[in-house]
Amino acid sequence: MPGTGKTATTMEVIKSLKKKYNFSFLPINAMSLTNPNTVYSVIYEYITGWKVPPASAALFLDDFFKKKDKAKILMQALQTRQKNKQVEKDAKKRAEVMRVILVDELDALMTKK
C-alpha cells in the first residue's frame, strides 16, 4: 500500500534503536538504482569503502555474509586496494561493525530475467 507510512515508521524505529545500540545503517531506495544489480555495488561500497562492478560485489557479499571469518574476507578484498600494514587492522575493525541494511521499494529489483 503506497503512502501508508511504512518507510517513515521504519526510519523512526531505526532512529530510536540507534540511541540504544551501536550499529551502522544503510538505507537504499531501489527505485533510485539504474540497474537492479547495482544494489550489490552499493552494499559492497558501504562495507569496504571501494567501488566495484556488481558481479564482483555479489561474489564478495556472498562470501562475506555466509562465512564466519568476516575479517579474513574483508582483508582479502582490502589487500587488492591497500598495500600497507593498516589493512589487517582496518579489516578487523570493519568486520566487527553490526550493519542494518534497509532496501526500500524492494519490488523495483525484480525483473523478468
**Domains of the chain, residue spans:** 34-106
The amino acid present at 103, given as its one-letter code, is V
Strand partners, 99: 24
Taking the complete model, does pTM exceed 0.85, yes or no?
A: no
For 99, the 3-state DSSP assignment is strand
Q: Which amino acid is at 59?
A: L
Phi-psi map region of 51: left, alpha, beta (phi>0 left; psi -120 to 50 alpha): beta
Strands (E), the chain: 24-29, 99-104
Nearest partner of 57 among 42, 68, 72, 70, judged by Cα: 42
Give the C-alpha separation, 54 to 68, whole Å: 23
Q: Measured between alpha carbons, how far is 96 from 32 in angstroms, rounded to an integer?
A: 29
Report pLDDT digits (tens) over 54-107: 999 999 999 999 988 888 888 888 777 666 667 777 788 888 889 999 999 998
Which one is predicted more confidently, 95 or 51?
51
What is the SS3 string spanning 15-39? HHHHHHCCCEEEEEEHHHCCCCCHH
